[in-house]
Structure 1
């Protein structure tokens, strides 16, 4: 069985820690068994590894999340990179074409799809493995996992089986009900309905046949070229609702969607991350602070306080799901990002006269990692090394750098840096288009730079 994890999200529901580049699955606010902070994607990957599924798993994601996944999973996961953001049907179609034409899997191969961020026990992934048998034995086009509800919730969709018990491990599905009222949810639970957790499986040939019916390529490279023209539609609407023969495997274990601040803080092992103080008379308060200045909560109750370079949130926990409505109109660039080589924070951004802009960043490059050999068309840069040592290349000439060194890079000049030890840089950009897209990457790895940059001279 092949497993495809879907990693997307716009990063609004857990603002200000999440943004368009760092969605909720990448926030390091959970703890592992050694009490180290970990993200949802790191937690899920460890669980998948524990049940022996890691080698057959790929992650489907967008370009903006590629570096962060590589960094957090230490390049262990295979990736399918969507060239632009569409929806779950295009994403799953692309994944199916990849498994079919790149991995050359048989059409009878079972493919399981699940979100990259469920909060579950390890037993859940053992249940995921049961999907393969369910698809093969039932002859169904789709097999789903349904979670036994613990309370009537209006936040989740429900899977309604035709019967509540069966001699087999799976139940035929009668219909779906999307986010009913709590009263309706209670009636559904009485009838044996299950929470829809977004996990399902199919034989590869089923989705490949759908692509053929729609006149879409089944070859990965060809579908990739047409990806931007695919409709923005969910797999539920495009496929699940039109499929008649569906079965569901009940899962009677722990499952939770940590999609809002109030649900996420319920699973955090500590009430405070980062600088600050929560007074003793403050009850049920969580403080998550990514800034270098302290945040104090005095005499407050039932609050989540979150601070990052993207903004500051002070919210009643029950009201926190409404944050997406309020910040949906924000169109600011992400002020913090994790990359394959480390991280950066935007410290200041100013627009001057005559379309001139100034952007100041603090950049961290992990020991042994490097920024690509690159150039910019619209900006000049001044780098000040504030921590660590490394090697810096400018226009094919290499030199060592240390704290206090100031490096100037003009628009059009080729440059790269590699950290010998953990390296931190204050970067000041000036120009007319200070955007991440103003990068022409010549070589990505340091090995490529050493091999292809000829005439290297050490200053």
Structure 2
């Protein structure tokens, strides 16, 4: 069996720490048995390793999240990158094309698609191990895992089973209901409906045939070349809801959707994460603070206080989910990369149409930023601490604290840290955006070879 871990999301419900790049699965808010902090991504990968499935696991993500994934999980897990986000159906199609043409995966192989933010104990992953045999026995096209509901939820979809036709391991599926209101959810639970946790399995042959019927290439390189033309579609809508022969495997163990601050706070071992303090009379209140300034809470109960580079949230725990409705489209102010991280300090639009963009950049030892070129802006780097090397216009120089490097537009440049390195980057130009970049190489050795 091959496991496809889907990592996407816009990071709206866990603002201000999550954003379109740093989605909820990357936030290190959960505690391990050793009381160390880990992310949802790290937790699910560890669980897959514990049940012996990690060696057959592939991560499907987008280019913006690739660096974060590489920072958090083993390099042995292959990463399949969408050129652009096109929904879960297209992401799965791309992964199937990769397995088919690059890995030569057999048509009888079972594929299990799993969201990267699944929060369950090991019994859930042991059940996933059994899915191939259940799928084969049932002769179904699709096998879903459905969670027995603990309460009527309006935040989850439901799978309605045929309770008359059942076996010891699974039910036939009659239909799906997407996020009903709580009254309707309660009625569904009486009919033995199960929460749709987004886990489904099928044979390679099923998906390959489906792609051919839809005129979608099954060769990886060919699909990549036309990927931008694909509509944004979900797997549930495009495939699951139209399947004439699908089953659901019930799961009765611990499973939770921890996509809100209230849900995450229930799994925090400490009421304060980061610098801060909560008074004794502040009952059921949690603070998560990524800022250097302390946050003190006095006499406020049942609340969530979250402070980060993108903003500050102070909310009643029962209303934390509303932040998704009010979330702005501002640029992320804290971004993690494969080489380190940066914080946006200031963005200024001048009257004469000149823009400036100021960042605080942190580069990890022995890591480097890619050799690249900007056509529409110049940059100034002021080294604050550490030592390293810089390439500007094919010239290699050593750098240290206090040095200032000027980079004209159209000039190739890169930087490598020999020790922990921090600097201020000021971008200036008529138009500053993330698309104004031409990458030459990610390799420092290749960049040095181009120096004169």
Name the TM-score, length of structure 2 as normaliser: 0.96
Higher deviation after alignment, 13-22 or 182-191: 182-191
Residue aligning to 1:171: 171
Confirm or deny: 8 A CA contact 2:367 2:416 kept in the other structure: yes
Structure 1 runs, 4 residues or longer, greater than 6 Å off: none
What secondary structure is seen at the aligned counterpart in 2 of 1:136? helix
2:344 counterpart (343, 346, 370): 346
Residue aligning to 2:111: 111
Residue aligning to 1:453: 450
Query: How far is 1:170 from its partner?
Result: 2.0
Residue aligning to 1:23: 23
Query: How far is 1:454 from its partner?
Result: 4.1
Confirm or deny: 8 A CA contact 1:371 1:444 kept in the other structure: yes
Instruction: String of CA shifts for 1:82-116, please: whole Å, max 9, x gaps.
Output: 11121111111111111111111111111000101
What secondary structure is seen at the aligned counterpart in 2 of 1:94? helix
- Counting only pairs closer than 5 Å after superposition, residues 21-60 of structure 1 correspond to structure 2 as 21-60=21-60
Confirm or deny: 8 A CA contact 1:70 1:76 kept in the other structure: no
Partners of 2:355 and 2:275 in 1: CA distance = 31
Residue aligning to 1:323: 323
Partners of 1:324 and 1:281 in 2: CA distance = 29
Partners of 2:395 and 2:167 in 1: CA distance = 72
Residue aligning to 2:160: 160
Residue aligning to 1:68: 68
What secondary structure is seen at the aligned counterpart in 2 of 1:90? helix
Q: Structure 1 residue 93 and structure 2 residue 89: aligned? A: no
Instruction: String of CA shifts for 1:265-318, please: whole Å, max 9, x gaps.
Output: 111222212222222221211111122222222211111111111111111110
Confirm or deny: 8 A CA contact 2:163 2:171 kept in the other structure: yes
Query: How far is 1:390 from its partner?
Result: 1.3
Query: How far is 1:343 from its partner?
Result: 0.6
Q: Structure 1 residue 337 and structure 2 residue 374: aligned? A: no
Query: How far is 1:242 from its partner?
Result: 0.8
Instruction: String of CA shifts for 1:144-197, please: whole Å, max 9, x gaps.
Output: 111122222222222222227954322222222222333433333333222110
What secondary structure is seen at the aligned counterpart in 1 of 2:212? helix
Partners of 1:58 and 1:255 in 2: CA distance = 22
Confirm or deny: 8 A CA contact 1:362 1:424 kept in the other structure: yes
Q: Structure 1 residue 436 and structure 2 residue 434: aligned? A: yes
Partners of 2:348 and 2:187 in 1: CA distance = 56
Confirm or deny: 8 A CA contact 1:348 1:361 kept in the other structure: yes
Confirm or deny: 8 A CA contact 1:131 1:200 kept in the other structure: no
Partners of 1:337 and 1:434 in 2: CA distance = 17
Query: Structure 1 74/429 Cα, relative in aligned 2: closer, same or farther at 3 Å?
Result: farther
Partners of 2:59 and 2:111 in 1: CA distance = 13
What secondary structure is seen at the aligned counterpart in 1 of 2:284? strand
What secondary structure is seen at the aligned counterpart in 2 of 1:84? coil
Query: How far is 1:42 from its partner?
Result: 1.1
What secondary structure is seen at the aligned counterpart in 1 of 2:285? strand
Partners of 1:236 and 1:277 in 2: CA distance = 44
What secondary structure is seen at the aligned counterpart in 2 of 1:13? coil
Residue aligning to 2:399: 401
Partners of 1:82 and 1:433 in 2: CA distance = 27
Partners of 2:368 and 2:27 in 1: CA distance = 23
What secondary structure is seen at the aligned counterpart in 1 of 2:390? strand
Residue aligning to 2:147: 147
State the number of aligned residues: 452
Partners of 2:164 and 2:5 in 1: CA distance = 29
Instruction: String of CA shifts for 1:414-459, please: whole Å, max 9, x gaps.
Output: 2211111221111112112222222221110112223x3243xxxx
What secondary structure is seen at the aligned counterpart in 2 of 1:391? strand
Name the TM-score, length of structure 1 as normaliser: 0.95
Query: How far is 1:399 from its partner?
Result: 2.3
What secondary structure is seen at the aligned counterpart in 1 of 2:266? helix
What secondary structure is seen at the aligned counterpart in 2 of 1:81? strand
